[in-house]
Structure 1
Amino acid sequence: MTAAPQKSPVDLPADASARVDAASQSSRHPAIVILDFGSQYSELIARRVRETEVFSLVMGYTTSAEELRAIAPKGIVLSGGPSSVYETGAPVCDPAIWELGIPVLGVCYGMQLMVQQLGGSVVAAGRAEYGKAPLHVDDPIDLLTNVEQGSTMWMSHGDSVERLPEGFVRLAHTDNTPEAAIADHGRHLYGVQFHPEVVHSTCGMALIRNFVYHICGCEADWTTAAFIEEAVADVRAQVGDKRVLLALSGGVDSSTLAFLLHKAIGDRLTCMFIDQGFMRKGEPEFLVEFFDQRFHINVEYINARERFIGKLHGVTDPEEKRKLIGTEFIRVFEEESKRLGPFDYLAQGTLYPDVIESAGTNIDPKTGERVAVKIKSHHNVGGLPKDLQFKLVEPLRKLFKDEVRKVGRSLGLPEEIVGRHPFPGPGLAIRILGEVTDEKLDILRDADLIVREEIRDAGLYNAIWQAFAVLLPVRSVGVMGDKRTYAFPVVLRCVSSEDGMTADWSRLPYDLLETISNRIVNEVKGVNRVVLDITSKPPGTIEWE
C-alpha cells in the first residue's frame, strides 16, 4: 500500500455481498477473488496479491458463477487444498466459472480441479513432490514472463495432471511433474502445480504480477490513501451520529484504530484503557500520557488489576485464560460504558490473521464454509460473550499487520508506537505458562524489559518481528554466590516475520544472547536460567499460549 490517489469507493452488489466475509466492512469490490479450497496458503495468496497494490478477498469455494458475475472481479484464483479431486466429497467449484470470461489461475489443487472439470485427467503421481524444485520454462511469455529458467518453486502435491483438456498447452515442467504450468490462452485459464505465493518460490511474485496486471488488467489502487478514505466513509456510514468506545491496548493495531476513528468521528470516540495488570513495565502510564496529553484523544483509564488476576486464580489452561480475559474485558467495558455512556458501538483492532487463526482453515464440503478447527482463540474474536451489549466496529479486520503499520504512519502515528512489536491482547498472562500470580508477573516484567532494552541497544529492534520473554512453570537447580538456587527458567523468544502468519527464529549474535542471559539472571530475582526458543511457525506458534 502506498499513498497514491485512488478511485471513489463503490458498493458491493446486494446479491453477492452475503458471500463476502460479512465482517470485512469494506465498500470496495475485490479486484481478485481467491476461492478457498482449504489450503493453509489461501490467505497468503491474498497477501501476495495485495503486495501488488491490488485488493483481494478470500471467499468460499461454493461461491457461484452468478455471484462472481455480480461482484465482477477482474481475476479469480483457485487455491490449493488438502483433498484429491477424486476423493468422495472433494470440494468443487461451480463449473460455470470457466465460461464467465474472467481470467482464472488454479494453484495446485485448483489447477487439478480445472483440468478435471474441463475434460482432462488427474492421477496419483508416481512420485509425490514436496519442497523446492527447479522450474523448466517451456513458454517464457504471458504468465511466465520474467520467470527465470531454473528458478526455484515450492511443490506440495501427491496428484499430477496426466492429460490436458482440449485447448490447453504446457508452459513449464519440473523433473517430476510434466505439467507444472499450463494455459488455455484463448479463454485466459491458467494453472500451476506449485505455490508461487510462498517465499520459497523465487520468482513467485513475478508470476503473480503477470496474472494480476498483464492478464487481468488490474490497476494498482489498493493504497494506504484508498484504505483510509474508504474506512472513514464506512465507519461514518455504520456509526452515524452514535458514540464509539474503543478497546485501547496501546499496541499498533488499537493505536492505529484510535487515530483512524478520531479522524472519522472526532470527539464521539472514547478510548478506554483497561489496566488488567498484564501490561509490560511502565506501559500504562506511558499510554495515557501519549494519547490523552500529546494527541488530545480522550482516554479513560480503568485500574482493574485485582479483578483480572482474581479471575485467573487457579487457571492453567491457555484457551481458558484467553476466553476469561476476553470476556472480562467486555464486562468491564459494559459496566464502565454505563457510567460514561451511552455507547452503541465497541471498536476493536482485530486483524485478518486473528480471524484466520480463530476460525481455522478446514472447509465443510457441503457448505463451503470454514469449520472451527482452531489453533487458538484470539481475545478479540474467541472470547466475546454471546450476550455482548455492543455492536462491533472493526475496520482493520481485513488488513495484515504490515498494512496496519502503513496506515498508522499515513495517519501521523509516531514511530515509537507504529514500529512497536506486536503484543497480545491478554498480555503477559499468556507468556506465563500455568497459573498467573503477582510474583510471576513481576518476574516476567523485569525480564521482558531487559530483553527489549538489549535488543534496542544492539540496533536490532526494527529487524525483528517480536522479541520477548516467556516464564515457564517449572524450577531448576542453579548456583549463585556459592549457594544452591531453585528458581524459574526464562525463555527468550525472538522471531522474524512479514505478517505473523509464518515466522522463523531470529539468529541473534552470541554476545547479545550472553548479555541478555547475564542481565536476567543477575538482575531478576527468582530466575536462574535463560533458554532460547529456536522453533519456527509452523510448527510452533509465535506465542507459547
Structure 2
Amino acid sequence: MKNEVIVVLDFGGQYNQLIARRIREAGVYCEVHPYDMPLEKLKALAPKGLIFTGGPNSIYAADAAICDKAIFEMGVPILGICYGAQLIAHMLGGVVAKAKTSEYGRTAISLNANSKLFESLNGETICWMSHTDAVKEVPAGFNITAESVDCPIAAFENAASKVYAVQFHPEVAHTENGEMMLNNFARVVCGCAGDWQMADFAKEQIEAIRAKVGAGKALLALSGGVDSSVAAMILSKAIGKGLTCVFVDHGLLRKNEGDEVEAIFADKNKLDLNFIRVDASKRFYAKLAGVTDPEAKRKIIGEEFIRVFEEEAKKIGAVDFFVQGTIYPDIIESGLNKSAVIKSHHNVGGLPDYVDFKEIIEPLRLLFKDEVRKVGIELGLDSKLVNRQPFPGPGLGIRIIGEVTAEKIRIVQDADAIYREEIAFAGLDEQIGQYFAALTNMKSVGVMGDSRTYDYAVVLRAVETSDFMTAKSVKIPWEVLEKVTTRIVNEVGGVNRVLYDLTGKPPATIELE
C-alpha cells in the first residue's frame, strides 16, 4: 500500500528538513522538494497537503523565490511558515511590508482556538519568531488566528480553502506546541491516517535501490560509523553480493579504530559483507602537508577519498554505483539546499567536480541522526553499533587545528582515548550525544617537574543533541574533568594544558575546527 504523503516545498530556510521530520513523527510520510518543482511532477506525487517553508529573502527582493500560482488550484491543504506565510499573503492579494519591530527568538502569542491548526491548544503559547518583514493585510476571505505584541498577524487562514499560514516556526523545539500544530495540520486538516513508520522507509529504500542497481555492482564508502553502517545494511539487503564495502584507513582515525572496524565488518559470522580495508595514510598525509585552512583540508580529504574509491572500483570491475551514508545535516551544512555553506562535508560539498561513477546513491540523505539509528534498529543492527559515537569522515584532520602532522595525530589520538575511557568509566558514555578531544594550534608555557614546558593545549568537547542540527554543551561532573585533565597532561607527551569547550551549536559547530 502506498503511504499518504505531505510535500514540503523548500524556499531556502535552514530548518526545512525539520518540518519534514515533525510530519514523519506524526506518522505521515513527508518529502522535501524545491519550490520550483514542475507542477506536473508535484501533482504526480498526489500529496495530501503542502507546506511552504521559511526562506532568507524578502518577498519583494529581485531574487525572491516565487512558486507557481497554480499550486493554489490543486485543491489540497497548504500551510505557509514564515516566508511561506508572507508568500501566501503576497500571491493571494494581501500586503507584506517591513515590520515596525523585527522579532527574533521566543515570543508569546495569543491563539484563536477555533482554528483547526490550533485544535486542543490553550489560548496562549510561546513560539519562535525570526522575521523582518510581516503580513500587514491578509488576503480577501482570510481570518487572523494569532497575534503577538509586535506582530498583529502572527497567523491567518482561509478554512474553506484549507490554506493556513503562521509567521513563526512551529518546527523548532523553541515553539512549545509546534509539534501539535504540525500534527494538527497533517492529521486534522489534511485528514492523514498516520500509518507511516520508519520500517516503511527502510523497505522502500531497499526496493528502490534493488530496482535501480539490479544485477549491477555498487561500492559503499564504509567508515564504521552509524550512517555508513546503516547504509551498508540497506544496500546488502537490496543487492546482496553486488555490494562491496571499502573502508579507507586515512591515518586520521581514533586510536585503534581501524582494527576495531575491520573486526566488526570483516567477520562473516556477524555481517556477511564483501569488505576491503585500504591503508592510504601515507597518501593522505602527503596531500595535507602544509595545509592549515579547515575548509581546504575537508576538500583535500574528500577528493582523496573519492580517488581511492575509484581505484578500488577498477580492481573490482564494472562498478557503476557509489554509495555514501550522507545524512541531512551534512547536506544543510554543505550549502546544497540553498542555505549558506557552513562547512563542506567530504561526502557532500567536499566531493570533487568529477567522480568516475555512473551514479551516487545516498539512501539516508533525508534523515537526521536519530532517525538513522531507528532505521538501524529496524534492520537488526547491534544496538552498540547503532549508538556508536559519531566520527566525521575527515577524521582527526578537522580535530587538529592547523597543519596535520604525525606528532599531532599521536597527541590527539592518545588524549581522545583517555577522554573516552574516563567518560565510559563514569557511566556517561550513553548519555552524551557526542564527545571527543581535539588539538589546538596554541602552545603555552607550563611547569612540569620543576622544568619549563612550552606545549600544546587540548580541548575537550561534549554536547547534547538528537538531530545534530543544534546542540548544547554537557555539564560533565568536575571530578571527571579533573581526572581526564590530570591523565592527559601526565600521560600524553606534548600537552601541558586542557580546556573544556562550553559553546553550543549555534553559534559554534559541533566539531572544533
Structure 1 and Structure 2 fold alike (TM over 0.5): yes
Matched, 1:379 2:346: yes
Give the percent of matched residue pairs that are identical in Structure 1 and Structure 2.
51
Shift of 1:135: 1.9
Shift of 1:65: 4.2
Question: Any conservation in 1 of the 2:127–2:170 contact (CA below 8 Å)?
Answer: yes
Matched, 1:420 2:393: no
Shift of 1:103: 0.5
Question: Any conservation in 2 of the 1:247–1:271 contact (CA below 8 Å)?
Answer: yes
Shift of 1:213: 0.8
Matched, 1:313 2:289: yes
Report the counterpart of residue 300 of structure 1 in structure 2: 276
Shift of 1:467: 0.2
Distance 1:382 1:174 in 2: 40
Report the counterpart of residue 414 of structure 2 in structure 1: 446
- Residue range with higher mean Cα deviation, 528-537 or 132-141: 132-141
Match of 1:337 among 313, 321, 326: 313
Q: Tell me the TM-score normalised to structure 2 length.
A: 0.95
Match of 1:462 among 427, 430, 452: 430
Report the counterpart of residue 148 of structure 2 in structure 1: 174
Report the counterpart of residue 477 of structure 1 in structure 2: 445
Which AA in structure 1 matches 2:344?
A: S
Distance 1:240 1:359 in 2: 32
Question: Any conservation in 1 of the 2:147–2:154 contact (CA below 8 Å)?
Answer: yes
Distance 2:361 2:58 in 1: 39
Matched, 1:508 2:473: no
Question: Any conservation in 2 of the 1:353–1:501 contact (CA below 8 Å)?
Answer: yes
SS at match of 1:110: helix
Question: Any conservation in 1 of the 2:154–2:166 contact (CA below 8 Å)?
Answer: yes
Which AA in structure 1 matches 2:375?
A: V
Distance 1:87 1:347 in 2: 39
Question: Any conservation in 2 of the 1:485–1:528 contact (CA below 8 Å)?
Answer: yes
Which AA in structure 1 matches 2:349?
A: G
Could you say what the CA RMSD is over the residues aligned between the two structures, in angstroms?
1.8
Matched, 1:158 2:132: yes
1:201–1:322 CA distance, 2 compared to 1 (3 A): same
Report the counterpart of residue 352 of structure 1 in structure 2: 328
Matched, 1:403 2:377: no
Unmatched tracts of structure 1, length 5 or more: 1-6, 10-28, 362-369
Question: Any conservation in 1 of the 2:113–2:121 contact (CA below 8 Å)?
Answer: no
| Higher RCO (C-alpha 8 Å, min separation 6) | 1
Which AA in structure 2 matches 1:421?
A: Q
Shift of 1:411: 1.3
Report the counterpart of residue 389 of structure 1 in structure 2: 356
Distance 2:310 2:80 in 1: 47
Report the counterpart of residue 29 of structure 2 in structure 1: 55
Question: Any conservation in 2 of the 1:464–1:506 contact (CA below 8 Å)?
Answer: yes
Shift of 1:8: 4.5
- Residue range with higher mean Cα deviation, 32-41 or 276-285: 32-41
Report the counterpart of residue 487 of structure 1 in structure 2: 455
Cα shift readout 1:415-465 (whole Å, capped 9, x = no counterpart): 221101211001111101111111111110111111212222222222222
Match of 2:174 among 196, 200, 211: 200
Report the counterpart of residue 256 of structure 1 in structure 2: 230
Distance 1:398 1:75 in 2: 19
Q: Tell me the TM-score normalised to structure 1 length.
A: 0.89
Distance 1:140 1:459 in 2: 49
Match of 2:405 among 437, 451, 465: 437
Question: Any conservation in 1 of the 2:101–2:150 contact (CA below 8 Å)?
Answer: yes
Shift of 1:36: 2.1
Report the counterpart of residue 16 of structure 1 in structure 2: none
Distance 2:93 2:17 in 1: 29
1:8–1:122 CA distance, 2 compared to 1 (3 A): closer
Shift of 1:140: 4.2
Which AA in structure 1 matches 2:405?
A: T
Aligned length: 510
SS at match of 2:375: helix
Shift of 1:141: 4.2
Question: Any conservation in 1 of the 2:113–2:122 contact (CA below 8 Å)?
Answer: no
Report the counterpart of residue 282 of structure 1 in structure 2: 256
Cα shift readout 1:491-518 (whole Å, capped 9, x = no counterpart): 1111111211122222222222222212
Distance 2:9 2:2 in 1: 26
Distance 1:87 1:264 in 2: 46
Unmatched tracts of structure 2, length 5 or more: none
Distance 1:88 1:326 in 2: 35
